[in-house]
A = this chain, B = another copy of it.
């Protein structure tokens, strides 16, 4: 920047201003400065700028995995919302582990993000403490935590799965099973299972039949193994809800393989409206949630919160509920 200043005949401060839009620099000056910049190939150092302005330009997002189109859609929504204002996303993935989340929170905070987006409402005490001490806006997504840290953009996974049980019931299914991961690591998965169980009891359909399989997230292949186990154990089951479309897909393919008609012999539903559920034959009944929109809305909420902080306006922790909808397709 000093070089640009010297070569253009202005001070470094004026160069700095010329690079920022909305700053008071004459058109002529800016033009000359940009010319020099182009000429010598100057690339400003944002981190140095951030050190000085106390605004890093970073926002951190932590998702369970980027290897799942739902969360990567959310990450895209976030990127789109934030990049409009020049904020850059620092993306981390926790592998569904709260311990890894804690490590990532600690690591990311060293980059002085202006805000942080988390997935779900379950965090280690230390992670929570770090986040609260950071004094930046936090948004939890993909869930409706009982005791949110700050802001929330999400929906009730339990309620959504309950809606699926009701939809299946309305179609005449009575012996409805559930296939999911085997632990509480995937808290959204656990919520879905809880929602299933609650709805079954509520509708007087008994306690239901649950097959848990593998470490979350449950894979396509495990979905296939689980449905075999389900039918082996409870042949009377006529419909099964899978914790995600991926396992539902695996289950349906295994049914094809074994000659079990879907939905004739058994109906299969998923969760998440992944591309595979739309394209599969039979197409898979699922719960659709706009994953991209979760990210977009979280990003916009963060931006407006940041604006309020700067203008000194009052901030109140809000919860933005995201719509979900049961989409009935061929598989049920």
> Which residues does chain B contribute within 8 Å of A220, judged by CB atoms?
275-276, 278-279
> Which residues does chain B contribute within 8 Å of A51, judged by CB atoms?
45, 47-48, 51
19 extra A-B contacts, CB within 8 A, seeds A72-B72, A250-B279? A43-B106, A43-B109, A43-B130, A44-B110, A45-B110, A45-B112, A47-B47, A47-B50, A47-B56, A66-B66, A66-B72, A66-B76, A67-B69, A88-B107, A91-B91, A220-B275, A253-B279, A253-B280, A253-B281
Whole-angstrom CA separation of A312 from B20 in the bound complex: 38
Q: Is the CB of A110 within 8 A of B46?
A: yes
Q: Using an 8 Å CB-CB cutoff, how does the interface string of A51-65 with B read, 1 for contact, 0 for none?
A: 100001000000000
Give the residues from 70 to 113 in chain A that come closer than 8 angstroms, CB to CB, to chain B. Answer: 72-73, 75-76, 79, 88-91, 93, 106-107, 109-112
Whole-angstrom CA separation of A48 from B47 in the bound complex: 8
Whole-angstrom CA separation of A46 from B58 in the bound complex: 13
Cβ distance A87 to chain B, nearest Cβ, rounded Å: 11
Most B-side CB within 10 Å, residue of A44, A51, A67, A75: A67
Nearest B residue to A69, CB-CB? B67
Report the interface size for chain A: residues with CB under 8 A from the other chain. 49
Whole-angstrom CA separation of A213 from B313 in the bound complex: 51
Is residue A256 contacting chain B, with contact meaning CB distance below 8 A? yes
- B-binding residues in A (CB < 8 A): 41, 43-48, 50-51, 56, 66-67, 69, 72-73, 75-76, 79, 88-91, 93, 106-107, 109-112, 130, 133-134, 219-221, 224, 246, 249-250, 253-254, 256-257, 275-276, 278-281
Cβ distance A314 to chain B, nearest Cβ, rounded Å: 26
Cβ distance A126 to chain B, nearest Cβ, rounded Å: 11
> Which residues does chain B contribute within 8 Å of A280, judged by CB atoms?
253
Whole-angstrom CA separation of A41 from B41 in the bound complex: 41
> Which residues does chain B contribute within 8 Å of A90, judged by CB atoms?
88, 90
> Which residues does chain B contribute within 8 Å of A67, judged by CB atoms?
69, 72-73, 76
Cβ distance A6 to chain B, nearest Cβ, rounded Å: 20
